[in-house]
């Protein structure tokens, strides 16, 4: 490709509305342009990258045994009413009405459409397992579209759906797809990890894993082990070990005056103790009555975990001031488990404390040297807090580190959620109708492009991983319009590189070298060849890798072969 006939729309200035580096660089490199909030046009340069991602995804999906299909973007409301999601899905679902007054939506995902297809086409267990995928445009009316194509409203997703006669078969395909995902992200050249996750709106909360590209700007917090491959979304990561020994109580409990000390921070400063030696008692609405949740002063309650406790009302809501008064006889802020008349559930680490400080259920007073079982009734124990950096790994002797990630993929065991509500069944061996089990598997194709930039860039611009670079190599001649020899030699080299199947961007503009170098660095082409007057006289061309500062000289006669070696073509 010649730059003179290519829409290379680079921009020097950093766009003021772009917060994160990938968004800034995608705009500066001329990869995408915004048309409305969260809606983008992909320019030739950007589309080349997205297509390379898609190709890798397609190859691995085909290899995993999935068949490519293409489903419509606009979906009839009736199917969403059948699954129950017409009501369930909030304002993220873009609803439309046609000229006949019929309701439709622009698909944010395609479970309904695929289930409708499969219930019509597949009738027997002999046709299972079946796995279908598409690469297609989705629309989600995100409340806060941001970071460019990272969280867009219109975006490209690869979504796959598998159908099974049994859970065992679903598990088998799930494992194959899990491995295919690892393969895809490795081939693209990303540093990623697979984390245990939980079901959102799509699933019934069954087995699920998210694939995250690790980057500081990531929206998701991940806890990952320093030693084994345990990694989980912080919302779900298992905290604390239940079998840690508790030190003995050696001091008698006593009351301390703590006037106006209502926060853990001020209380621990006032008493000159570590916040980890205090506990917080949170009163929440239970299924029957009020329930007390106890966590260590330095920890935070995890709402998702708390909501999983059978005694606790979902969604989690705190007791009102009157309810607190009624249950404890005092104001919120001075509550503690000693003498408390409501059920107490303590986090693992809070239950392991000895000689701790807690509210005395009396305004302006706390208790110190409290001991479970002696002063306060031994609580029920559960994991109800967020993990923190340094927590023990639940699987091995390692510790958990917290990292940030960008979710680029999601695999999910849906079970029979859609096949039951939409009546998708097959006849089994004995001729009986059974609801098919389903799996679904997404990759944010357009988001992957941005995530790759987050992970790989420098002060001069993008540094593409080779497999998804828009071009393999750029050829920059110096003084093409001044020297017929340069023009001729660079044309010849361009032709030779193309004949060798190398995807070359030939900067045939009549620009200053500095401008051309800056552009090629900004758009992130992995390899650069510079042909100048002096080099040509000596029969050499200058080579530079985008990742390295140093340049080297290659003889014109061997340069094509050397580039082929670099690119493995």
Contact positions vs ligand ATP (CB under 6 A)? 109, 140, 142, 151-152, 155, 157, 200, 202, 407-410, 442, 444, 446-447
* Between 36 and 168, CB nearer to ligand ATP: 36
Overall residue count recorded for the chain in this entry: 569
Distance of closest approach, residue 222 Cβ to ligand ATP, in angstroms: 13
CB 147, min distance to ligand ATP, A: 9
- CA atoms within 13 Å, Cβ hemisphere of 331: 9
Could you tell me the strand order of the sheet in which 344-347 lies? 279-285, 290-296, 344-347, 380-382
| Minimum gap (Å) between residue 447 Cβ and ligand ATP | 4
The residue among 192, 237, 224, 233 whose CA lies nearest residue 409 is: 192
CA distance to 66, 163, 427, 436, per residue, from 122 (Å): 15, 10, 10, 10
Spatial contact of 335 and 291, defined as CB atoms under 8 Å apart: no
In our burial notation (b when 16+ CB lie closer than 10 A, e otherwise), range 32-61 reads bebeeebebebbebbbbbbebbbebbbebb
Q: Closest CB to ligand ATP belongs to which residue?
A: 444
Cβ closest to ligand ATP, residue 39 vs residue 256 = 39
* 329 burial type by CB count under 10 A (0-12 exposed, 13-18 middle, 19+ buried): exposed
Gap between the Cα atoms of 345 and 376, Å rounded: 12
- Shortest gap between Cβ of 306 and ligand ATP (angstroms)? 21
Bridge partners, residue 294, by sequence: 281, 346
Half-sphere exposure of 557 (CA within 13 A, CB side): 2
| Nearest approach, Cβ of residue 141 and ligand ATP (Å) | 10
Q: What's the closest the beta carbon of residue 209 comes to ligand ATP, in angstroms?
A: 11
Nearer to ligand ATP, 199 or 364 (CB): 199
Q: Which two tokens stand for residue 414?
A: 């849906």
Q: For ligand ATP, give the closer residue by CB, 93 or 408.
A: 408
Query: Which is nearer to ligand ATP, 435 or 445 (by Cβ)?
Result: 445
Beta sheet of 473-477, edge-to-edge order: 504-506, 473-477, 527-531, 540-545, 551-555
Residue with tokens 């079901």: 199
Tell me the sheet residues that pair with 457. Answer: 462
CA atoms of 415 and 435, how far apart (whole Å): 9
Minimum distance from CB of 138 to ligand ATP (Å)?
Answer: 7
310's tokens: 């059978």
Nearer Cβ to ligand ATP (140/164):
140
Measured from the CB atom, the residue of 347 and 407 that comes closer to ligand ATP is: 407
**In the complex, least distance from residue 438 CB atom to ligand ATP, rounded to whole angstroms:** 14
Q: Which is nearer to ligand ATP, 6 or 132 (CB)?
A: 132
Alpha carbon distance 99, 123 (integer Å): 35
Question: Is the Cβ of residue 26 or residue 360 nearer to ligand ATP in the bound state?
Answer: 26
C-alpha distances in angstroms, 59 versus 64, 89, 159, 163, 221? Answer: 9, 33, 14, 21, 30
CA distance to 206, 283, 460, per residue, from 56 (Å): 28, 51, 27
Q: Which is nearer to ligand ATP, 451 or 556 (CB)?
A: 451
Residue 452 Cβ vs ligand ATP, minimum distance, rounded to whole Å: 13
Distance CA 172, CA 174 (A): 5
Q: How many whole angstroms separate alpha carbon 424 and alpha carbon 186?
A: 35
Residue number, 53 or 522, with CB nearest to ligand ATP = 53
The whole-angstrom separation of Cα 316 and Cα 384 is: 12
Is the Cβ–Cβ distance between 296 and 349 less than 8 Å?
yes
Q: Which is nearer to ligand ATP, 28 or 447 (CB)?
A: 447
Helix/strand/coil percent split, the chain, to 5: 30, 30, 40
The nearest distance, CB 462 to ligand ATP, in angstroms, is 19
Nearer to ligand ATP, 211 or 506 (CB): 211
As measured in angstroms, the least distance from the Cβ of 50 to ligand ATP is 12
Are residues 202 and 115 in contact, defined by beta-carbon separation less than 8 angstroms?
no
CB of 446 to ligand ATP, least distance (A): 6
Q: Toward ligand ATP, which CB reaches closer, 148 or 461?
A: 148
Separation between Cα atoms, residue 5 and residue 416, nearest integer Å: 53
Distance in Å, CB of 49 to ligand ATP, minimum: 15
Please count the helices (runs of H) and the strands (runs of E) in the chain.
16, 30
Q: Minimum distance between the CB of residue 500 and ligand ATP, rounded to whole angstroms?
A: 35
């Amino acid at each position: 490709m010649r730059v003179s006939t290519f829409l290379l729309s680079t921009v020097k200035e950093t766009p003021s509305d772009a917060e994160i580096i990938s968004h800034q660089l995608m705009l500066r490199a001329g990869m995408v342009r915004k048309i409305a909030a969260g809606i983008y046009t992909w320019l030739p340069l950007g589309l080349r990258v997205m297509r390379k991602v898609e190709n890798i995804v397609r190859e691995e999906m085909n290899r995993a045994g999935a068949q490519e299909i293409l489903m419509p973007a606009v979906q009839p409301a009736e199917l969403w009413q059948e699954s129950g999601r017409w009501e369930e899905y909030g304002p993220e679902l873009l609803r439309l009405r046609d000229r006949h007054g019929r309701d439709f939506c622009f698909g944010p995902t395609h479970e309904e459409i695929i289930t409708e297809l499969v219930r019509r086409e597949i009738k027997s267990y002999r046709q299972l397992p079946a796995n279908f995928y598409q690469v297609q445009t989705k629309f989600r009316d995100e409340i806060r579209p941001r970071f460019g194509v990272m969280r867009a409203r219109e975006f490209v997703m690869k979504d796959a759906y598998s159908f099974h006669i049994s859970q065992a078969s679903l598990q088998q395909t799930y494992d194959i797809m899990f491995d295919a995902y690892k393969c895809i992200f490795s081939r693209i050249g990303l540093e990623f990890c697979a984390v245990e996750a939980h079901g959102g709106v799509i699933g019934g909360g069954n087995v699920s894993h998210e694939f995250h590209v690790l980057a500081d700007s990531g929206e998701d917090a991940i806890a990952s082990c320093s030693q084994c491959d345990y990694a989980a979304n912080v919302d779900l990561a298992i905290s604390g070990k239940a079998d840690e020994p508790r030190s003995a109580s050696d001091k008698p409990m006593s009351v301390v005056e703590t006037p106006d000390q209502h926060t853990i921070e001020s209380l621990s400063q006032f008493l000159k103790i570590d916040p980890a030696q205090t506990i917080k008692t949170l009163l929440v609405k239970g299924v029957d009555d009020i329930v007390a949740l106890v966590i260590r002063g330095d920890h935070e309650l995890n709402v998702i975990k708390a909501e999983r406790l059978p005694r606790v009302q979902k969604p989690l809501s705190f007791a009102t001031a009157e309810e607190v008064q009624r249950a404890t006889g005092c104001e919120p802020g001075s509550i503690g488990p000693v003498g408390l008349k409501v059920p107490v559930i303590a986090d693992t680490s809070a239950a392991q404390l000895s000689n701790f400080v807690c509210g005395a259920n009396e305004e302006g007073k706390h208790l110190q040297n409290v001991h479970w079982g002696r002063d306060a009734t031994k609580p029920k124990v559960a994991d109800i807090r967020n993990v923190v950096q340094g927590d023990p790994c639940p699987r091995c002797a390692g510790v958990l580190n917290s990292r940030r990630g960008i979710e680029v993929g999601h695999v999910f065991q849906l079970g029979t959620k859609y096949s039951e509500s939409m009546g998708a069944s097959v006849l089994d061996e004995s001729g009986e109708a059974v609801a098919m089990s389903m799996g679904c598997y997404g990759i944010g194709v357009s988001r992957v492009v941005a995530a790759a930039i987050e992970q790989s860039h420098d002060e001069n611009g993008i540094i593409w991983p080779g497999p998804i670079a828009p071009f393999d190599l750029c050829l920059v001649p110096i003084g093409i319009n001044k020297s017929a020899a340069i023009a001729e030699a660079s044309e010849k080299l361009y032709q030779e590189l193309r004949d060798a199947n190398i995807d070359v961007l030939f900067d045939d503009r009549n620009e200053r070298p500095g401008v051309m170098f800056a552009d090629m660095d900004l758009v992130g082409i992995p390899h650069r060849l510079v042909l100048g007057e002096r080099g040509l006289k000596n029969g050499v061309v200058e080579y530079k890798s985008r990742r390295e500062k140093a340049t080297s000289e290659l003889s014109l006669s061997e340069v094509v072969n050397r580039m082929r070696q670099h690119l493995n073509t």
